[in-house]
Structure 1
Amino acid sequence: MRNGVRIERHLCETHAAEHGIAVQPAGKIGELIKQHVSALTQAAQAKGNVCPTCRLTFAEFKQHGLLGCAECYRIFEGQISPLIERAHEGGVKHVGKTPRRVSCEIDESARAKAELAARAERLSRIRVELETAVRAEQYEKAAKLRDELRRLAEGPGRGDV
């Protein structure tokens, strides 16, 4: 009251405490809200980032030892990399087995690349021999080399690679 006039103010708990008014939330819901606000305040003050996807903080990760989602690995990379390195005794590069299906595909791909490289090498070698034969006026040899070049150029199944 001021000058005999009753003044009504609506203050939050923090501002009421600043004005010397002790506010005790009534009932269970009040206690839940108070705990929730306290937890949010502590989380905001906690050092570290917050995952934008699952809202996990680094403090929560340290407490539970579990990340919330795949994005957490990127967000907390700086903090968890040393932990992962220590847990795996420095071995942070995957060197395990590959599935057979993938392994076969890799082998076939590597074999195909090797065959193409060998074929290109052979074509190059034959072209050099052809030029040498023409310069030396060995026309019969040059004709055979020319025919072999054509056969190899037609397709990979035709040549002896």
Structure 2
Amino acid sequence: MLCERCQQRPASVHVTRIINGEKTELYLCQECARDMQPQLNFSIPKFLAGLFDYEPGPGIKTQTIVEHCRECGMSYEQFQQTGRLGCPACYHYLAGRLEPLIRRIQGSSQHRGKVPRRAGGNLRVRREIEKLRAQLQQLVEQEEFEKAAQVRDRIRELENSLGEQGGGQ
């Protein structure tokens, strides 16, 4: 696909703008994207600074905040400036400040990993059962019992297939 602006170079940047609820998409080459950056009003440093400045709102529980790592001495403020932690122990000592940030960026603070296609069949089925149980709970709360019954039946099918395969990983 060619750049929509210059029509000469291959497009390698996808820009989505939403203005007053109207979505427009642009496919640009590197040079045109660089030229349009002031118009796009986006920069990576500003984006990261916005994430680092995140403070959890009232009612959100966080762990006790430790101001620096006891192994390497790095403070959270130093992390904000560099975007890098000083040592593996920083995750433990700065967890109170890092966990909300990680949750905000990744959607969860718990690593789930990817499941290999060939070897991870049972694990994939177990995760699908987990998702379906959460969906079932939500449907019951919303009193959508017909859909809930379908989800319940699907859970039973998956559990039976696990039982036939021995249930191991």
Q: Give your verdict on TM over 0.5.
A: no
Q: Report which of the two has the higher share of helix.
A: 1
Q: Which structure's relative contact order is higher, taking Cα pairs within 8 Å and 6+ residues apart?
A: 2
Structure index of larger Rg: 1
TM-score under structure 2 length normalisation = 0.30
Query: TM-score under structure 1 normalisation?
Result: 0.31
